[in-house]
Structures are given as structure tokens and as C-alpha cells.
Amino acid sequence: MSDQRRRELREADEFTAQYDAIVQRHSRDVIEPVLIGVMDSIAKDPHAFGKTTWNTRLAKSDNLGLTIPTFKIVFQIEDEGKDSEYVFLLWIQEDSTFDEIVS
């Protein structure tokens, strides 16, 4: 059973720097809705995303065509199971859609 309350998102300094660099390389009108959509999904149900290690999880954006890159976000759920539970965004990576298609 998933808990649909919205968690607070906190960013590691590295995540913030990576996010800012991604937004600078692309049109805000195109990229920000994709990134905000992924982060909204994480905030609403972080437990729905698969674990990469014992305490980190991975979210991926949907492929929206060849001109829009896909993204991977690595995060942790802090204070899991408590009322103070929040999501700590660790890392964001931009992937080439072309690379995903050919691999």
C-alpha cells in the first residue's frame, strides 16, 4: 500500500549544481516540466522507485522523443516510516535519448 502524502525534497549541493547546469544547457520551457514531473513523482511516492543500494533509489524520466534528454535521479528516503520522512536528492544525470535507443 503506497502512502500518497507529499514529502519534502531536499537537495545535496552536488544535485543543485547539476540541476542548474542542465537547465542552463536547455530551454527552460522544455526541460523544467520534465524535471519537475519526475521530482513530483518522487515527492508523492518515493517508495515506488527501485533501490540501487541498501539506502538509495533511482528514478528515471520517461522518453519524450529524440530532442528531449532523459534523466536519472538518485535519492534517499530519510527518516523512513516517520512523520518527519523526507527525500534527499543526491544526484541527477542527463542521458542522451539516442544512447538509450541504441543500447
The predicted-structure confidence for 5-34, as pLDDT tens digits, reads as follows 889 999 999 999 999 998 888 878 888 888
Residue from 53, 52, 92, 91 nearest 70 by CA: 92
User: How is residue 20 written as a grid cell?
Assistant: 542548474
Q: Is the predicted pLDDT of residue 65 greater than 80, yes or no?
A: no
DSSP class per residue in 57-94: EEEEPPP--TTS-EEEEEEEEETTTSTT-EEEEEEEEE
Other C-beta atoms lying within 10 Å of the C-beta of residue 38: 20
User: Domain limits of the chain?
Assistant: 8-102
Question: What pLDDT was estimated at residue 95?
Answer: 84
Average pLDDT over residues 38-48: 94
Residue from 67, 70, 54 nearest 103 by CA: 70
Residue from 78, 76, 53, 61 nearest 26 by CA: 61
